[in-house]
Amino acid sequence: MYLPHHFTADEAAVRDLLARQGAADLVTMTGRGLLATLLPFEYDPEAGEHGSLVGHLARANDQWREPVQGEAMAIVRGPEGYVTPSWYPSKAEHHRVVPTWNYITAHVYGRLVVHDDPAWVAAQLRRLTDRHEAGSAEPWSVDQAPAKFVEARLRAVVGVELVISRIEAKFKLSQNQPRPDVEGVAAGLEARGRAHDAALATAVRTHNPPATATC
């Protein structure tokens, strides 16, 4: 990952990204070439030295069967969006500005472990479902479905776990811009109101805190 020093993130911010995001692209190099699947995941910070990402694939998806050459990778994304130069106050001063794209992402590398075990998959599905149903007025649970139906569904999926060895994260949030332009970006995102804009504006403000005054 190309990572200028402006856009590095601390470990706490990366852990928060993994804990909050719901899906990632699982990418593996195999004898058939690169394979990739978008899948929902959970972050388990207590697994191994660096934690793990756990999820499941359809049994019919050959990616889990193909031996991985080297490390597997999951691409995790946070909020992202287009930044217009019109939001920069400096544009009116010198016009030496260009558009850009602000975003948060992490490349999570590790060893891919397959869990072809219905009990493991059932526990993972329950945790994943409970997590995403938590905010619902009437949360759905696995137990609401007929037991035989659930058993059949469990046979149709396979568990996967990416045991993390390293993470490369990039939080590109206008940290290389002067303070007035940073404020212009945050305000512009809030006013525009596209998908991700509110979350991206919050991230811009969070990762560009005002300078602390000194005596």
CATH classification of the domain holding 127: 2.30.110.10
C-beta atoms surrounding 181 within 10 Å: 20
The answer to whether position 190 is within a domain reads no
The model's pTM: 0.92
Tokens describing residue 138: 């009437």
Give me the pLDDT at residue 211, please. 72
Task: Provide the domain count of the chain.
Answer: 1
Residue 27, beta-bridge partner list:
36, 73
For residue 147, give its domain range.
5-82+99-178
The answer to whether position 106 is within a domain reads yes
Q: Are 107 and 71 a contacting pair, CB within 8 Å?
A: no
**In a structure prediction context, what are the per-residue pLDDT tens digits for the chain, which is 215 residues long?**
999 999 999 999 999 999 998 999 999 999 999 999 999 999 999 998 899 999 999 999 999 999 999 999 999 999 999 999 999 999 989 989 999 999 999 999 999 999 999 999 999 999 999 999 998 999 999 999 999 999 999 999 999 999 999 999 999 999 999 999 999 999 999 999 999 999 999 999 999 998 755 54
The answer to whether position 14 is within a domain reads yes
Ramachandran angles phi, psi of 127, nearest 5°: -65, -45
Question: In angstroms, rounded to a whole number, what is the distance separating the alpha carbons of residues 163 and 120?
Answer: 16
Q: Are 27 and 34 a contacting pair, CB within 8 Å?
A: yes
Give me the pLDDT at residue 117, please. 93
